[in-house]
Structure 1
Amino acid sequence: MGKRRNYDAEFREGAVRIVLETGKPAAEVARDLGVHEGTLQTWVSRARGAAAAGTRPLDESEREELLRLRADNQRLRKDNVELGMERDVLKRCMVLWVK
């Protein structure tokens, strides 16, 4: 079985740009670059889908930031629930204290 290769974002974007701007078939560009045809076709499909949606794929730093923000959001939601419960307990205590 072949070894899985990792390509940096700049290389992927360049390969996709060659396919989209020159109109060459993905198979030909893949052979020229030494990339598996299916891999390049996947990159092109993702780029076309992102262009249609008006977005671009996230780079590594953006992906890391998104994961960090999601974790922060989850933590804050949990804290919010806990604070709501504490508030409710304090309200009950105040009612009992006033009586």
Structure 2
Amino acid sequence: MKRYDKHFKEEAVRLVVELGRSVATVAKELGIHENTLHKWVSQYKEHKENAFPGSGNLLPEDAETRRLKKMIADLQEENAILKKATAIFARHQK
């Protein structure tokens, strides 16, 4: 699958959004599928300057979600360790 950089996507979207050109015309001129350009336009309209974060990068809200999920997993692991330790200490106190 061919990959396009952020600049290419932004320029393609700009031709449609700012200059009012049709998706079909721009897609044909750039040699990309119309559905691909429709998707890029939708992503741009939803995320504006955060659209097209690049390979391996996340949108800011996705990065925050990932960070919070990791924090929850870490806390759950710490909680499980503390429960086991409490059970061990309770057995030794009897």
Alignment of 1:28-43 (within 5 A): 28-43=25-40
Asked which structure has the greater CA Rg, the reply is: 1
1:56 is matched by which residue type in structure 2?
N
After TM superposition, which residue ranges in structure 1, 4 or more long, deviate above 2 angstroms? 55-63, 66-75, 81-84, 86-91
2:24 is matched by which residue type in structure 1?
A
Instruction: After TM superposition, give the deviation of residue 23 of structure 1 in Å.
Output: 0.9
Q: Which residue of 2 aligns with 1:59?
A: 54
Q: Which residue of 2 aligns with 1:84?
A: 82
Instruction: After TM superposition, give the deviation of residue 85 of structure 1 in Å.
Output: 1.4
Q: CA RMSD in A?
A: 3.2
Q: Where in structure 2 are there 5+ consecutive unaligned residues?
A: none
Q: Distance in 2 between matches of 1:84 and 1:14?
A: 54
Secondary structure of 2:16 counterpart = helix
Secondary structure of 1:60 counterpart = coil
Q: Where in structure 1 are there 5+ consecutive unaligned residues?
A: none
Indicate whether 1:21 and 2:18 are aligned: yes
Q: Distance in 2 between matches of 1:70 and 1:32?
A: 43
Alignment of 1:62-77 (within 5 A): 62-63=57-58, 66=63, 69=67, 72-73=70-71, 75-77=73-75
Q: Percent identity?
A: 26
TM-score, normalization by structure 2: 0.66
**Which of structures 1 and 2 has the larger relative contact order (alpha carbons within 8 angstroms, sep 6+)?**
2
Instruction: After TM superposition, give the deviation of residue 82 of structure 1 in Å.
Output: 2.7
TM-score, normalization by structure 1: 0.63
